[in-house]
Structure 1
């Protein structure tokens, strides 16, 4: 953590991850919450007011490459886990757990993102689910578009 009033000097640091951190994403609905992913295969949820230890963590089935909060209520994360697939992860009540997994890519899953279409527009597509996600792989040069169900009630 850096204080912009103090040049080039960190004021706090944490080495809870056991390997390089590859993804960091803030939560726009909860101003003190960030999530990190690492080569150590862990997603960690943090409260930036106390960086001594993470609030919660979950071991994923592969190295984390991309994390992205859902654009609706910021309760779910999409996690691209390189050789471990793509997962929808619930972070409700600071308890992180995998709720849905996708293994469409035979190779490295590098990217994942949410579609911001609302329910009426999503319903026009003939598959089960209330949200559209996109995932991509590196060597296959493949983009997959899928529907999934997420409970977006608050």
Structure 2
């Protein structure tokens, strides 16, 4: 890669280990921030905004992924499920976003 797609920066408080784009919402990114938990970031042309953070793991934030729920894409109001895991304590946690993404980014 020689040309960045987006040059906006946002401080997430830790080195970003994993980045997962939302399967249906453009610009919505789930990040594993090593020593600072997990963050959900919305990136568009005008601004970059941290929508939500999750810091209930007590170890290095390592893996993260979205639940691929097609009903979200179809406009039905429901919760978005996220799976995160931590390194040293080897925990997998499933959690739902507290914020309403449909009002925030759609």
TM over 0.5: yes
Q: How does 1:1-154 map to 2 (within 5 A)?
A: 1=1, 12=2, 46-47=4-5, 54-119=6-71, 130-148=79-97, 149-151=100-102, 153=106
C-alpha separation in 1, matches of 2:65 and 2:16: 14
Structure 2: gaps (5+ residues): 73-77
Q: TM-score normalised to the size of structure 2?
A: 0.80
In structure 1, the gaps of 5 or more residues are 2-11, 15-45, 48-53, 121-128
Moved over 6 A (4+): none
Q: How many residues align?
A: 97
Pick closer, same or farther for the CA change 1:113–1:94 going to 2, 3 Å: farther
CA RMSD of aligned residues (A): 2.0
Deviations 1:60-114 (Å, cap 9, x if unpaired)?
1111000111001222100100110101101133522211000011110101110
TM-score (norm 1): 0.57
Mark the structure with the bigger radius of gyration. Answer: 1
1:30 aligned partner: none
